[in-house]
Amino acid sequence: MLMDVDLSTPQVMTLKPYKRNRSADQNALSHVWYAGLAAKLHEFDAGGYKGFCKLHFGIPILREDPEFSEMYDRIFKPMPYGMKHEIMSTPGLFDVTSLMNTEQMSLYLEQIQRHFADRIQLRFPDEPQGY
C-alpha cells in the first residue's frame, strides 16, 4: 500500500498503463478446470485448486520478472506452505493470473493440464475428445 511507503528516504515509482492481457476465454477456462478438479479429485474445493495452481504454476511463471521475484521472495518465501496456499486460495487477496499476458496464461494452463493428466482430462476447447 502507498501508506506503507517510508517517505523519509527517496523513493522511485513506476507507473504502467493498466492493460488486461489475458483473454476472457483463458480466464473462464481456468475456472472451469478448477471446478472440474474439485468435482473429480475432492482434495480441495475449486478455490483450493485455484490456490494450488497459482502457487505451483503461476508464481514460477511470474517470477521470471525480476521485480515480481524480488517482491515474492521478500514477502512470501519465508511463509509456511499452508499460509501461502491459503492466501492464493482467498479470492482477491493476491493476484497471479490477472497479472499474466496471454502467452503466460497459455503456459499456465498447459502446466495445469500436464500436472493432472494422469488423474483427470482437462481439455482446451479446440482439442478433440479422447477415448
pLDDT, tens digit, 9 for 90 and up, residues 32-53? 999 999 999 999 999 999 999 9
- The C-alpha atoms of residue 108 and residue 119 are separated, in whole angstroms, by 18
Round the average pLDDT of the chain to a whole number and report it: 88
So what's the pLDDT on residue 18?
45
User: Is there a domain that residue 129 lies in?
Assistant: no
**Is the pLDDT confidence value at 2 over 70?**
no
So what's the pLDDT on residue 42?
94
103: containing domain: 45-120
Vertex 111, ends 108 and 114: CA angle to 5°? Answer: 150
User: Is there a domain that residue 66 lies in?
Assistant: yes
User: Is there a domain that residue 36 lies in?
Assistant: no
User: Is there a domain that residue 86 lies in?
Assistant: yes
- The C-alpha atoms of residue 30 and residue 46 are separated, in whole angstroms, by 10
So what's the pLDDT on residue 122?
95
* Global confidence as pTM: 0.80
- Number of folded domains that form the chain: 1
**Is the pLDDT confidence value at 28 over 70?**
yes
